[in-house]
């Protein structure tokens, strides 16, 4: 028994970096701070989600492998108009709560219900990019489109990945996403809520970019992914060329 306690003290972190943990796994004791996806009870830190454990200085946290989106102020999200109400639009942002986009925000002046026709601006089914300006425990998130680059999306394809893998999709200083953009020639808009819009010159390019995005989602927890993605896109493009060449 004594021996066990000594071992624990020498090794306050019980997992290596990037090891997979499951809810309830004891990650560390005492001196550490409980970060994302962990909780502390009686001086012990446990994981709350399936993910990869990591620690920086005294902070220990878990990068979840699968999760849902939880709205945070400042996030850019991609959503779908699901209802036109009396004061604005209800937007589905793939979160536990429906988001509200106010009519006055879009009009950039106060809203006059008798004269302003909301469905002519955004109708049910429209896809919009917006920023979250407010979100707390008592109300659903409030959106704004009054910033450059936000608003209705009229072209491209939409796809979804689990929101915790967005940082992996973007990569260190945008390395991963820029490879996809460069290799496929598509524009890629990434919402923090896991929705992604890909718009390129042809549906083929878009399909290729979406394939790469899903490859990243599936293999997010493996290393050397950036090179593999670049390789995959090039290979697919060459195959396309060969096939079309034969037809001509």
Partner 1 sequence: MSKKKVKKLINGKGIRYDGRKLNELRPIKLEVGVLDNADGSAYIEQGKNKILAAVYGPKEVHPKHLAMPDRSLLRCRYHMAPFSVEERKSPAPSRREKELSKVIREAFEPSVFTEYYPRTSIDIVIEVLQADGGTRCAGITAASLALADAGIPMRDLVSACAAGKVEGHLVLDVADLEDKQGEADVPVAYMPNLNAITLLQMDGMLTSEEFEQAINLAVEGCKQIYQLQKEALKAKYVEVKEAKKEDAEQ
Compute the least distance from the CB of residue 108 to partner 1, in Å: 30
C-beta closer to partner 1: residue 168 or 186: 168
C-beta closer to partner 1: residue 107 or 158: 158
Compute the least distance from the CB of residue 21 to partner 1, in Å: 9
Compute the least distance from the CB of residue 218 to partner 1, in Å: 6
C-beta closer to partner 1: residue 25 or 105: 25
Residue 143 CA from chain centroid, whole number = 17
What gap in Å lies between CA 6 and CA 173, rounded to an integer? Answer: 42
Compute the least distance from the CB of residue 243 to partner 1, in Å: 24
Query: Strands 195-199, 59-64: parallel, antiparallel or unpaired by DSSP?
Result: unpaired
Q: Which two tokens stand for residue 117?
A: 């026709």
What gap in Å lies between CA 225 and CA 241, rounded to an integer? Answer: 24
Q: 3-state SS of the chain: helix, strand, coil percent to 5?
A: 30, 30, 40
C-beta closer to partner 1: residue 137 or 246: 137
C-beta closer to partner 1: residue 48 or 199: 48
b/e per residue 67-94 (b: at least 16 CB within 10 A):
bebebeeebbbbbbbeebeeebbbbebb
Compute the least distance from the CB of residue 48 to partner 1, in Å: 4
Question: Can you give the binding site for partner 1, defined by CB under 8 A?
Answer: 20, 22-26, 37, 39, 41, 46, 48-50, 64-68, 70, 96-98, 137-138, 162, 164, 218-219, 221-222, 224, 228
CA distances from 139 to 100, 106, 134, 243 (A): 10, 20, 9, 54
């Amino acid at each position: 028994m004594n021996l066990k306690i000594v071992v624990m003290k020498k090794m306050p972190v019980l997992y290596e970096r990037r090891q997979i943990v499951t809810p309830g796994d004891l990650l560390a004791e005492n001196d550490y701070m409980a970060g994302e996806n962990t909780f502390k009870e009686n001086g012990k830190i446990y994981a709350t989600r399936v993910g990869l454990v990591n620690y920086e200085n005294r902070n220990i946290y878990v990068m979840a492998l699968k999760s849902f989106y939880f709205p945070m102020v400042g996030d850019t999200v991609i959503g779908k108009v699901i209802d036109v109400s009396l004061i604005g639009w209800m937007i589905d942002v793939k979160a536990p709560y429906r988001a509200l986009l106010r009519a006055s925000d879009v009009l950039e002046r106060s809203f006059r219900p008798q004269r302003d026709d909301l469905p002519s601006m955004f109708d049910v089914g429209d896809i919009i990019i917006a920023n979250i300006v407010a979100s707390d425990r008592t109300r659903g998130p409030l959106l704004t489109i009054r910033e450059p680059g936000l608003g209705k999306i009229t072209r491209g394809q939409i796809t979804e990945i689990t929101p915790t893998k967005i940082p992996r999709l973007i990569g260190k200083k945008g390395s991963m996403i820029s490879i996809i953009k460069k290799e496929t020639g598509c524009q890629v808009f990434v919402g923090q809520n896991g929705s992604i819009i890909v718009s390129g010159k042809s549906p083929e390019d878009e399909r290729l970019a979406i394939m790469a995005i899903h490859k990243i989602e599936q293999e997010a927890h493996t290393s050397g992914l950036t090179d593999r993605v670049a390789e995959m896109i090039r290979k697919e493009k060459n195959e396309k060329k060969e096939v079309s060449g034969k037809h001509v």
